[in-house]
Structure formats: C-alpha cells, structure tokens
Amino acid sequence: MEARLRAGERLTDLPDASDAQLYFIGRIRTPWARREDCPRQGRLDGSDCRIEIFEPWHAALEGVGAYAHLEILYWLDRARRDLVRQNPKGDGTRYFGTFALRSPQRPNPIGTSQVRLVSVEPGALVVRGLDCLDGTPLIDIKPDRCEFTPKAPAKPAGR
C-alpha cells in the first residue's frame, strides 16, 4: 500500500514507464511486516535477515563468502513513486526535494544498504544491516567497495 500524502508534500504526474527489464533475483525475509517497525537505516549490529536467492542465480553466490560486508540493492515495492517534495517528519515544518533524501518514496524506489555477512547457506545469505519490509524484492548483491579486490578462482588442475 502506498504511503499517505502529508500536508505540503508535492506530487507529480508520472510519465509513461520505460521498461528497464530488471530481474528480481530473490526475496528478503526480515522481522518487519509494518513500515513503522522497520529501522530507518539498517545497523551492522541489527537483526538477522535472510536473503533468499531464486534458483537461476544460486550459482552467482560463488565467492560471496570471502567478504565480511556486502552491498545490497532492493526494490522498495510498497513506496509511492510520484512525490517530488517531502515532509519526512510529517510535522509540516521542513520540506525537502526527493533527491535530497534517502526516503523510500522516489521515482525508482531502490534501497541500498551495507550489511555484515553472518552466514552463507545454499541459495541464501544471512546478514545484518537491512531496513526493509519482509518480502522486499532483491535487485543485486555486490562485495562492499572497501573490501573488493577481484580474485579469480584458482584454475582447476590440468588446465
């Protein structure tokens, strides 16, 4: 369900969508069913969350366990997409343009979080540091930019 509009907030008419052909590569299981229960930003010592990867992409997890931290991108599927001016506290005092905020309400509601990798399971990761609702679609997983050094896997013997 879309977030309610607050006094003084401004909407725009959305143009026709162009299709970026995103694949939702998994689903994020978190303890939070309601927006008001979610952290505003995840914390590395926060609750365990489980990132379930859909079958065609299980093989893409190879090597992920080498990193202590990952960057997770997700689609904030219950956000409204037509807000250009927002009143984050809902108190009618301070207003910001959408691009001056990390609010979930934005034309392309992509959320990003740096997380701590707790464990790797077959087809799933357990992490800490997320702030999204249970069932949020997963867009991508990347090694944390501070830790990333590309390491090719060892060549199999005889090649």
Q: Which is nearer to ligand SAM, 77 or 121 (CB)?
A: 77
- In the DSSP assignment, the letter for residue 66 is G
Q: How far is CA 134 from CA 14, 27, 30, 149, in A?
A: 27, 8, 5, 32
Q: Which is nearer to ligand SAM, 10 or 114 (CB)?
A: 114
Q: Which is nearer to ligand SAM, 58 or 135 (CB)?
A: 135
- With beta carbons less than 8 A apart as the criterion, state whether 71 and 112 touch: yes
Question: What's the closest the beta carbon of residue 31 comes to ligand SAM, in angstroms?
Answer: 12
Q: Which residues bind ligand SAM (CB under 6 A)?
A: 35, 38-41, 76-79, 102-104, 111-113, 131-133, 136
Strands 26-29 and 48-53: antiparallel
Question: What's the closest the beta carbon of residue 108 comes to ligand SAM, in angstroms?
Answer: 11
